[in-house]
Structure 1
Amino acid sequence: MIIGKKLKNHQLISFVGCLMLAAPLLAADFIAPTPWSTIASSDLARLMPDDEVKPLLAGETEFTTLYRQHMSAQQRGVVLIIPDWQHLPTNNDGVNFLRTELNDLGYATIAMTVPDIDWYANDSTVNDSTVNDSAINETETTTPDPQENTEAPTNTPTNDALEQASAPMASPKHVDAIPMISNAIIDNYKLNLISRFNALYESALNEDGKIVVVAQGASAGVLLEHYASFPSTNIDAFISLSSYLPNTERNKKLNATISTISPPLLDVYYSVDNSNLLLSIAQRKRWVKRHSKYDYRQRELFGLRSAPEQHERLTKEVDGFLRRLF
């Protein structure tokens, strides 16, 4: 009996201790995580040389850029470098190598940090009117007939039973094997990226020579869509590194969009690359032939994007393409 009482007291003390530990957790307020762009900017400001870090303003939003001046006798131009979304301008997929090596070839380079991705941008597409209409329909179907009041109150169904009986059967929904990023998320990212890109372009006007854009991944995809609408920001060349859009239908339209932009385009991809991109390579060539875009070049690089030998070949392809133009 004494042992049993000791066990009960021990269990009671353990239970009270768990409640005391859980109380602060229940009372704590939700703290939003630090945005990715804020972390990236603080890391670049802390790790990069002070003379390279140049903050710019896109409206009221400040973002970080990395500037390096040309190191040749004559400046050939300025290269604007835009990494893939959620990638740093110092990533090892060829962007950082171009950022530093193009200086010796006569180009100043300005690399920028990309905006955050709003993964909940598609939540605003819910139409409130459809919700109200469905609520009205439910109330109409659950309203009892006045003639039923004359009957005996015995064995009358409850409100829950009436609602379950009157609720329509849910229609089957098709589920894709591979989820796609919604257009709302891509459009939100595109809007914020173009705002930063315009500020980057304004800073490039202070440099001598040609203006070249080097964009990577999804950032390159939305910028190609932007230049298909013929904006006022005129550039002399566009270099696309593994450009794609993370939406199957929208990526198919990108194949035709590429052939309609006015700047000369170098389309670089790797043998081990995004699956949506690799499936689009042949279609891009067909659309280029149809629209007679003679200043389009497509180059395949073998191996991994992080390999040093691929960085060297990428630099040679970019330099050779630009030397043919100017």
Structure 2
Amino acid sequence: MNKTLHRGLLWLLVAAVIQITAAAQQPPSIQQLWQRDVQRQILASEVTELTSATGSFMVLQRQALTSYTKGTAILVPDWAERPVSPDYLEPLRVQLNDHGWHTLAIMVPPPAEFSLEQDATTYQRLLAERMLAAFNEAKSQGGNIIIIAKGSNAALLNQLFTTNQLESPAAFIMLGVYLADVDLNRELAGLIAQQSIPTLDISHQRDNRFANANLGLRQQLVQRNLKTNYRQRQLSGTFYNEDINAWVLKEITGWLHSSGL
């Protein structure tokens, strides 16, 4: 082998080693960090992945613990939360199994990669893609599909339902729904009134100012649009403790029962 060829092969080998080393040293993404944190808290048997149009993402699945199955509850955290959020979502993810529901809690697109003010359209598209994958998984389980969503993501899902970009669930439960913009938050009230999905609107008196700003307007527009399958409940007391979580579960299961679900 001549010296020139030898040097060329040596440089190719060195370049390959440098690339591999750089890739190994690249810091993990926000989503990877979130997934690792969730995996430390949850049984491995409950953790799985679904695939959307833009890649795979983590979901947490638990099966109903009753002799009958009502269907699947898809749980959607707020845009800055993980699916094991202790305020409502994690208790609901576990306790709804005792009431005949499979639960499917999704990891939403990571907040550090988006600004809802600047990249709302991109974020909403990625959220819709993950919801479509979650819907398909829920359909494979059989039964009704309900959605329980928090905060800004509950608001974005309302927009997707109203514009027919997402299939309507059998029921939609919103927890502290809001958009952090005065005008958009008022428009949200109209969207809630326009979509025909049976809707339970739960808020807490200590939710942020946007979540509590238009409770009266939402009720007025619902009445004007003759949306009879809407119920609004505001909770009071200590924020996000065991009693409040039990109250939320009771509100949800009672309303679902009254809705025939």
The TM-score, its normalising length taken from structure 1, stands at 0.69
Larger Rg: 1
The answer to whether the 8 A contact 1:230-1:262 is kept is no
Separation in structure 2 between the aligned mates of residue 32 and residue 266 of structure 1, nearest angstrom: 44
The residue that corresponds to 1:88 in the other structure is 82
The answer to whether the 8 A contact 2:73-2:148 is kept is yes
3-state secondary structure, aligned to 1:88 = coil
Structure-2 change in CA distance of 1:217 and 1:33 (3 Å): farther
- Listed as ranges, the matches of 1:198-237 within 5 Å are 198-231=132-165, 233-237=167-171
The answer to whether the 8 A contact 1:244-1:251 is kept is yes
- Listed as ranges, the matches of 1:75-224 within 5 Å are 75-117=69-111, 182=117, 184-224=118-158
| % identical equivalent positions | 28
Structure-2 change in CA distance of 1:80 and 1:274 (3 Å): same
Read off the aligned partner of 1:307 and give its amino acid letter. Answer: N
The residue that corresponds to 1:265 in the other structure is 199
Separation in structure 2 between the aligned mates of residue 201 and residue 119 of structure 1, nearest angstrom: 24
The answer to whether the 8 A contact 1:216-1:240 is kept is yes
Alpha-carbon distance, 1:254 to partner: 0.3
1:52 aligns with 2:46: yes
RMSD: 1.7
3-state secondary structure, aligned to 2:203 = strand
Read off the aligned partner of 1:262 and give its amino acid letter. Answer: S
Alpha-carbon distance, 1:43 to partner: 2.0
The residue that corresponds to 2:251 in the other structure is 317
Separation in structure 2 between the aligned mates of residue 271 and residue 220 of structure 1, nearest angstrom: 18
Q: Deviations over 1:206-246 (max 9, x none)?
A: 11221100000111010011111134523100000001112
3-state secondary structure, aligned to 1:206 = helix
The residue that corresponds to 1:243 in the other structure is 177
Alpha-carbon distance, 1:32 to partner: 7.8
The answer to whether the 8 A contact 2:114-2:123 is kept is no
Separation in structure 1 between the aligned mates of residue 222 and residue 39 of structure 2, nearest angstrom: 42
The answer to whether the 8 A contact 1:230-1:261 is kept is no
Read off the aligned partner of 1:220 and give its amino acid letter. Answer: A
Separation in structure 2 between the aligned mates of residue 59 and residue 304 of structure 1, nearest angstrom: 41
- Listed as ranges, the matches of 1:273-284 within 5 Å are 273-284=207-218
Structure-2 change in CA distance of 1:73 and 1:247 (3 Å): same
Read off the aligned partner of 1:101 and give its amino acid letter. Answer: Q
The answer to whether the 8 A contact 2:128-2:166 is kept is no
The TM-score, its normalising length taken from structure 2, stands at 0.86
Q: Please identify, of 186-195 and 214-223, the stretch whose mean Cα deviation from structure 2 is larger.
A: 186-195
Read off the aligned partner of 2:108 and give its amino acid letter. Answer: V
The answer to whether the 8 A contact 2:58-2:106 is kept is yes
Among 161, 169, 189, the alignment partner of 1:255 is 189
Aligned residues: 236
Separation in structure 1 between the aligned mates of residue 227 and residue 256 of structure 2, nearest angstrom: 17
The residue that corresponds to 1:297 in the other structure is 231
3-state secondary structure, aligned to 2:78 = coil
